[in-house]
Amino acid sequence: MKELLIGNAALARGLYEAGCSVISSYPGTPSTEITEEFAKFNDVYCEWAPNEKVAAESAFGASLQGKRAACCMKHVGLNVAADPLFTMSYTGVNAGLVICVADDPGMHSSQNEQDSRHYAAAAKVPMLEPADSQEALDFAKIAFDISEKFDTPVFIKMCTRVAHSQSIVEKGERTEVCKEYVKNPRKYIMAPANAIARHPFVEERTAKLTEYAETSPVNRVEAGSGSYDFGIITSSTSYQYVKEVFGDSVTVLKLGMVNPLPVKLIKDFAAKVGKVYVIEELDPVIENFCKTIGVDVIGKDKFSILGEFSQKTIANAFGMEEKENVTLETDIPVRPPMMCAGCPHRGMYYVLAKNKITVLGDIGCYTLGSMPPLNALDMTLCMGASVSGIHGFNKAGGSETEGKTVCVIGDSTFMHSGVTGLINIAYNQSNSTVIILDNSITGMTGHQQNPTTGYNIKGDPAGKVDLEALCRSVGIRSVRVVDPYNLEECEKVVKEELAKNEPSVIISRRPCVLLKYVKPKKPLRVNPEKCRGCKRCMKFGCPAISFRDGHAVIDNTLCIGCGVCAGLCPFDAFESEGE
């Protein structure tokens, strides 16, 4: 049956059909659904690992044992998994091993715009790049075949528009694949003597993969029907934009494998079409390769290194007429994402902002605390950097910053890579206060379980890390738990912990209001007789409260009745229904 699937779901289906039996991943937009969808299949093992390095190594272990395995991550997650990646390239695999990585050109939900293709080249690992959902499904099978045939991990590179676009796929049947585990120290123990012996294998493998790329159907030339004096080399979603603009009129070399790149295929293509444009998002990876092998191409001179493309990008570059449209004179106010009404993070941020505390932040929903009106954050870098960062900040600042600085990190991010930073704080003793914003879920990526929630990816009971005990066990003596809906308590505890001359942890604990088991209360309403229009409640930045005709008003479709605003009002104007 034909079905409409997002690229990530199609990829999950392809991995399943290819006989993949184990997936270990850490969530990250736009990669998360690959693992979530795979978890829905029976008779396979699927898990959320604490971070991408653990996930990649777990998948490697499964491959070593003899089962086809995969791990999935967003582009920045690959930085975390880079350590095992580079050496897995040397060991190769037993059963097939696939690493799915999803880039985010345009940074819809990311802190940078890095191009994962560099990792494929640097680690000398082949990389397939599907352009729609059907290719995502098909390439998963090809990836496993390449992995076993050439003894290498294989990348499948997604991007936001392929990962999150639905297109039609035909499903197939699953094939079971099992390899025997045979002890092979020279292949799998990467101590210097063995690694030295493996390096030539890696180089020979790349040469063989290049041969494969020359003739593999994943790379194809589509002859154009028009009379253009140029041809286009492209891949991924850029291919779709090219086809949208040119249809079948222009000759295209559509690359499904972006590492290693085919030399002869590109040279022959260039010889046939004359002028060659390379249309690729982000860095000039294909372009630079072409230039290295002596093929003159036009790439980043015409197509930006920044952000996403679209059909308009292509049409504009080739001087085509713009489509007629309508524009308005009225300025439309921006609508940035924000913390939800009732979000537990808001209470803690309100307290920190009120006390003008320097706040080093981390990756998650709570990055939104940087937005007006709270403006509560000073720094956000990468997963875990808040905890490591505050240590350095306070070591450098001494008494100037200690007592006035905290860091904030979510429960999942703390598990990912915050705990190592905390160990550094405890070991090298900086007078730092770490606030764990524990909303009992991985929020921003859409509610994934993590080691602190007590449930696994299927929602079944699992091991549960006790955050308080963990922090104490690494050497933090002062560990406090507060309810972020209780602003008075939060303020008191933050001040007390900042005043102490030792490392401390505050766990700000209340579950995300979007969790199904969190039952909303009845919305509050503002008594216009009591509201004097002082706007103190507006400093809280709750999307359910707005100001109309001189008074605060509550949007009862958004308010979940958390009641924190009631405590902020000096005139008791916020009332629960029925009062």
Partner 1 sequence: MATKNIMIVGVGGQGSLLASKLLGRLLVDEGYDVKVSEVHGMSQRGGSVVTYVRFGEKVYSPIIDEGEADFIVSFEKIEAARYIKDLKKGGTVIVNTQQIDPMPVIIGNAVYPDKVLDEMKDKGVNVDAIDALSLASEAGSAKACNIVLMGRLAKYFDIPYDKWETAIAKIVKPAFIEINKKAFDLGYNN
Residue ranges in contact with partner 1 by CB under 8 A:
2-4, 29-30, 32-33, 108-109, 132, 160-161, 164-168, 237, 240-241, 243-244, 310-312, 322-340, 365, 368, 371-373, 444-446, 535, 538, 541, 543, 545-547, 555, 557-558
Tokens of 555: 């949007």
Minimum CB–partner distance for residue 272 and partner 1 (Å): 23
Phi, psi of 93 (to 5 degrees): -125, 170
Q: How far is the CB of 561 from partner 1 (least distance, A)?
A: 16
User: For residues 73 and 261, which CB has a smaller minimum distance to partner 1 in the complex?
Assistant: 73
Between 30 and 410, name the residue whose CB sits nearer to partner 1. Answer: 30
Pick between residue 222 and residue 468 the one whose CB is nearest to partner 1. Answer: 222
24 Cβ contact list (under 8 Å, min separation 6): 46, 47, 48, 49, 54, 55, 56, 58, 59, 62, 69, 71
- Whichever of 84 and 342 has its CB closer to partner 1, that residue is 342
- Which residue is listed with tokens 């045939």? 149
**At its nearest, how many Å lie between partner 1 and the CB of residue 385?**
18
User: Measured from the CB atom, is 311 or 424 closer to partner 1?
Assistant: 311
Residue 69 DSSP SS3:
strand
Query: Closest approach of Cβ 333 to partner 1, in Å?
Result: 4
Task: Give the residue with the Cβ less far from partner 1, 107 or 306.
Answer: 107
CB of residue 30 to partner 1, shortest distance in Å: 6
Q: Which is nearer to partner 1, 227 or 325 (CB)?
A: 325
The least CB distance from residue 210 to partner 1, in Å, is: 29
CB of 247 to partner 1, least distance (A): 8
Least Cβ distance, residue 444 to partner 1 (angstroms): 7
Closest separation in Å from C-beta 301 to partner 1: 22
Burial of 436: CB neighbours in 10 Å, binned 0-12, 13-18, 19+: buried
* Rg for the chain, CA atoms, rounded: 27
Cα–Cα distance for residue pair 527/550, rounded to 1 Å: 12
364: DSSP letter: S
Q: Whole-number minimum distance, CB 66 to partner 1, in Å?
A: 35
DSSP state of 415: I
Closest separation in Å from C-beta 27 to partner 1: 10
Burial class (CB in 10 A: 0-12, 13-18, 19+), 483: middle
Cβ of residue 257: shortest distance to partner 1, in angstroms?
21
Q: Please say which residue, 446 or 459, places its beta carbon nearer to partner 1.
A: 446
Closest CB to partner 1 among residues 2, 356: 2
Q: Are strands 545-548 and 551-554 parallel, antiparallel or unpaired?
A: antiparallel
Q: Please, are residues 276 and 228 in contact by the beta-carbon 8 Å criterion?
A: no
**Cβ 319 to partner 1, closest distance in Å?**
16
Beta bridge partners of 437: 410, 508
d(CA 288, CA 299): 9
Phi first, then psi: give them for residue 289, nearest 5 degrees.
Answer: -60, -45
Provide the Cα torsion 374, 378, 383, 389; round to 10°. Answer: -140
In terms of CB distance, is 393 or 540 closer to partner 1? 540
d(Cα 569, Cα 304) in Å, to the nearest integer? 50
Nearer to partner 1, 183 or 323 (CB): 323
Within 8 A by CB and 6+ apart from 96, the residues are: 18, 20, 63, 68, 69, 143, 144, 145, 147, 148, 154, 177
- Residue among 101 and 479 whose Cβ is closer to partner 1: 101
Can you spell out the DSSP letters for 432-490? Answer: -EEEEEE-SSBTTTT-B--TTTSB-TTS-B-----HHHHHHHTT--EEEEE-TT-HHHH
Query: The tokens 């524990």 sit on which residue?
Result: 438
Q: Which is nearer to partner 1, 33 or 57 (CB)?
A: 33
- Which residues neighbour 190 within 8 Å (Cβ) at sequence distance 6 or greater? 87, 90, 91, 198
Which of 57, 12, 413, 335 is CA-nearest to residue 174?
12
In sequence order, the β-bridge partners of residue 51 are none
